[in-house]
Amino acid sequence: MDSRSRDTALSTEERAAIDVVLAPSSSGRSDGGFTRSQHDLLLPALHALNDRVGWISEAALDYLSRRLTLSAAEVFGVASSCALFSLRPRPRRVLHVCAGPACRATGSTTLCRTLERRLGPADRPAGGVIWQRSPCLGLCERAPAALVLEAGEPQRTAVSAPSTVDATISVALDLRRARPEPPAAAAVPRSGGENLVLLRRIGQVDPASLSDYLNTGGYTALHHALRLGQAEILRLVRESGLPSRDGAGAPVARSWEVLASQPETPHYLVCDADETHPAAFADRVLLEGDPFAVVEAMTIAAIATGSRHGYLHLRGEYPRAYQTITEAVAQAREKGLLGRNILGSGHSFDLEIRRGGGAYPGRRGESRGMPPFPAEPVLLGKPAITHSVETLIAIPPLLTGLPTGTRLYCATGIFRRPGVYELPRGTTLGRLLAVAGGAVTGRTPRAALINGTLTRPLHLDRPLPAAGPGSVVLLDEERDR
């Protein structure tokens, strides 16, 4: 098939979705005029297709391959590895029912069985909707959870969590029946309490308001960082010994100093908010409840590492977090807090938000390896570092003299009060259990999935991991519910 006949197989809607993401070729041809630097637009283009059309056709993959000068295998590899995408025609409305561990502990197995009886088997279209079992949706504190995505222009989304069969079917048939989502603070049982640093603004500010952020000490750290300059920021972070919350928990300063010293430019800063670990959702809560803090933290890290460009890699299943962080970035740009010559300082930094393709099905929940070592060209062939949201969000408190000895734990399963808890590093499971109100009445804790690893019997006096996603799913039996 030549390129012209392949292009006729491409629908107008598919072409429009892709062309919104990829700049038009100056030559007007579909197979040239783009350099390797456009390759990072593959995932955004796939999202645009999926959002608008609901699935990704062979013709669309082929068009993308030629527009981006990527091999068909590379394009197919990315498109086929993401749980949100479908390479087969399907209805525009897709009901994703979580089959992750927190949801299995709270009834999703029964929910799915009943859906099979009422809607038919999973992955089979019925009545304009298709339902499918999904990896963790990151709504674990409200388990069992379901998410409805309806393709179109614009895409529509609705959440049903905690989910019952009737509520889930009702929302799947008509998204307008979905109840409004609770605010981010509902996921922080101790919101507004004492001794919170990383979570101190959740529930205390309007996340869409830059004024609220400024009135609660926001951007004090950036002003301080601009006065200090790169070398002094690095010295402060090094002397603090601040550990990374991701990977192996190495000192943050180590990777910052290596990146800052790289002669090759540009340097890239990546914030990994693509929480693919089952039952981890703290990033979502931070991005929904305190998005300016993430923007400020990335800006300071960029100044310290000499990075002029950053990426925030966000989970595809987080439509509300996408909205809040997108609005925060826009407001920060408008006020000169992002972009060229930030606040007249001579420093420039801007960031792009990139959605991931959904948690990877079948991927074992476990701590990831070390972030990319910045001595190697790791992003677009250039030096880069990657940090989690939780690691970055500790930077402004560090520069303003607040304590940084805490970390976040995502308590789900049969905890009486599931949610995100900020506790001292080294906290034991027993302490988390006490703070979260113990177990649900009538259920006896017998095991836990901690950072994706099954622990049985429970050792209540052992410290929880200081790094990794901080997920703790409390279980009472091996059988799924």
Residue 359 engages ligand FES in binding (rule: CB under 6 A): no
Residue 83 engages ligand FES in binding (rule: CB under 6 A): no
Residue in 392, 319, 324 with CA at minimum distance from that of residue 358:
319
Q: Find the shortest distance in angstroms from Cβ 319 to ligand FES.
A: 14
* Stretch of 26-34, 134-142, 223-231, 285-293 contacting ligand FES, by CB under 6 A: 134-142
Residue 147 engages ligand FES in binding (rule: CB under 6 A): no
Residue 310 engages ligand FES in binding (rule: CB under 6 A): no
Cβ-closest position to ligand FES: 100
- CA–CA separation, 273 and 63 (whole Å): 29
Residue in 143, 148, 179 with CA at minimum distance from that of residue 419:
143
Identity at 291, one-letter amino acid code:
P
| # residues near ligand FES by CB under 6 A | 14
Residue 448 engages ligand FES in binding (rule: CB under 6 A): no
* Stretch of 132-140, 180-188, 251-259, 360-368 contacting ligand FES, by CB under 6 A: 132-140
* Stretch of 38-46, 99-107, 320-328, 422-430 contacting ligand FES, by CB under 6 A: 99-107
Binding ligand FES (rule: CB under 6 A), the pick from 115, 139, 252, 314 is: 139
Residue 111 engages ligand FES in binding (rule: CB under 6 A): no
Q: How many CA atoms lie within 13 A of 221 on its CB side?
A: 30
Q: Find the shortest distance in angstroms from Cβ 180 to ligand FES.
A: 18
Binding ligand FES (rule: CB under 6 A), the pick from 54, 100, 289, 469 is: 100
* Stretch of 79-87, 138-146, 187-195, 202-210 contacting ligand FES, by CB under 6 A: 138-146
Residue 279 engages ligand FES in binding (rule: CB under 6 A): yes
Which tokens is 439 given?
């177990």
* Stretch of 79-87, 101-109, 219-227, 388-396 contacting ligand FES, by CB under 6 A: 101-109
Binding ligand FES (rule: CB under 6 A), the pick from 45, 61, 102, 353 is: 102
Binding ligand FES (rule: CB under 6 A), the pick from 189, 247, 278, 356 is: 278
Residue 107 engages ligand FES in binding (rule: CB under 6 A): no
Q: Which residues bind ligand FES (CB under 6 A)?
A: 98, 100-103, 136-140, 143, 145, 278-279
